[in-house]
Amino acid sequence: MVSIMGGMSESWSAPRATSPITWAQHLPGSKSITNRAFIITALADSPSVLRRPLASRDTDLMAAALKAMGVGIDTHGAEVHVTPAPLHGAEIDCGLAGTVMRFIPPVAALADGPVTIDGDDQARQRPLKVMLDALRELGVEVEGDGLPATLSSPGVPAGREITIDASQSSQFVSGLLLSGARFTNGLTLRHEGGALPSLPHVEMTVGMLRAAGVTIDSDDTSWTVHPGPIKGGTWNIEPDLTNAAPFLAAAAVTGGRVTIKDYPASTRQPGDRFRHILMDMGATINQEPTFCTALGAADGQLHGIDIDMSDIGELVPTVAALAALADSPTRIRGVAHLRGHETDRLNALATNLNSLGGDVTEEADGLTINPARLHGGTWQVYGDHRMVTAGAILGLRVEDVVVDDVAAVSKTIPGFDRMWQTMLDEGMQERNG
């Protein structure tokens, strides 16, 4: 059966934990950092090296998009070498990757020739008009209000002050900022409208641009990118801390101990907030300069929480799975924007959890999850990588949870199912031994 992720779908029986897990896990690089680094280095004034970047469907699509426009990208073991070059027209497949569909259009505005961008059927339903209208304001000729879209620029955009409503996705802000220094006069960008979601991802963008020598003035709703060169250099890509969350959650669910290796001592990744969420739900966290360990309560008991997750929406599927196993209600708020992700994540989570016997109410801006006795069944993924890892967490405690398309997880963490099974096979043996 063909998956909307672009490959073959594969059902997967999520393994159940029969004893506490003791495990140490190494994780591949951050998708958010890798794809931002690809854009920055492609627009830099000299070659760059990305060390230990993530290799996944989303990052492969980003690399392919930049190569199609003329950028030199070559892989050498655990390093990727990026050589900037004049950009030209191309046809680009963004798959279902939000970072590709929203970061590439401003880059396309710098190309000498038309750039056509398309993606998976579901990507055509994801919001893009805000970005395309912003580029129209900057003088770019744009055909379409979503995917597919063709962009043609009569020259390098002059840059100016523009105002957008980025309440659907902070990626609109990040995408414009990443290319802004290459516009003739830079760019001043203002957000007006509903609450800006995932602000930490914008802060990540700003921090990475500053590290590359770009001058940016910013507050929470406006940013000025000054024109100038972008420095090439070496980027050491941190492990993906959002992908660390399911493994840390496994400790809490099983009453075990899971360590994430090479966990950064300081980071701009929003996924780092999961440490504090786990503590609020009853786990203990021990963070050292080179690792982070989660210890679950001896009985694996979890407690419900009331939390605004507007800045950390990528963690919602993980938190929802834990909440469904907790002994008191959970209210997740501030995440209406998740309806425009790979799938409508709020509806998908509510539908799936209720199908397993859960007691979940879908709210306008989030979910209310009450304690309930869960049973096995099919966990539908809807092509969404975060839904796979949520199903895996539930399967630790609930027998016979079958994830209908584990291949969707290749979007950000290829081989997750093998890593997860190894953790159980060897982590439980270690404790039992």
Q: Which residues are annotated as a binding site for 3-phosphoshikimate?
A: 31-32, 36, 169-171, 198, 314, 341
Annotated binding site: 31-32, 36, 98, 126, 169-171, 198, 314, 341, 345, 386, 411
Cβ-contact 206, 177 below 8 angstroms? yes
Task: Write the DSSP string, 148-191.
Answer: SEEEE-SSS----EEEE--TT-THHHHHHHHHHTTSTT-EEEEE
Q: Provide the 3-class DSSP secondary structure of residue 239.
A: strand
Cβ-contact 88, 111 below 8 angstroms? yes
For the chain, give the number of residues. Answer: 433
Residue 84 DSSP one-character state = -
Residue with tokens 């959970």: 330
Catalytic residue among 161, 314, 362, 426: 314
Question: What are residue 308's phi and psi, to 5 degrees?
Answer: -90, 115
Neighbouring residues of 205: CB distance < 8 A, sequence distance ≥ 6 = 36, 173, 174, 177, 178
Neighbouring residues of 393: CB distance < 8 A, sequence distance ≥ 6 = 246, 249, 250, 253, 318, 321, 322
Annotated binding site for phosphoenolpyruvate: 31, 98, 126, 171, 345, 386, 411
> If we measure between CA atoms, which residue out of 45, 83, 79, 53 comes closest to residue 66?
83
Residues 106, 132: Cα–Cα separation, whole Å: 9
Lookup: tokens for 281: 């739900």
Active site residue 314: yes
Query: What letters, b where the CB count within 10 A reaches 16 and e where it falls short, cover 52-64?
Result: bbbbbbbbbbbbb
**Omega before 106 within 30 of 0, i.e. cis:** no
Residues 323, 366: Cα–Cα separation, whole Å: 13
Residue 8 DSSP one-character state = B
Catalytic residues: 314
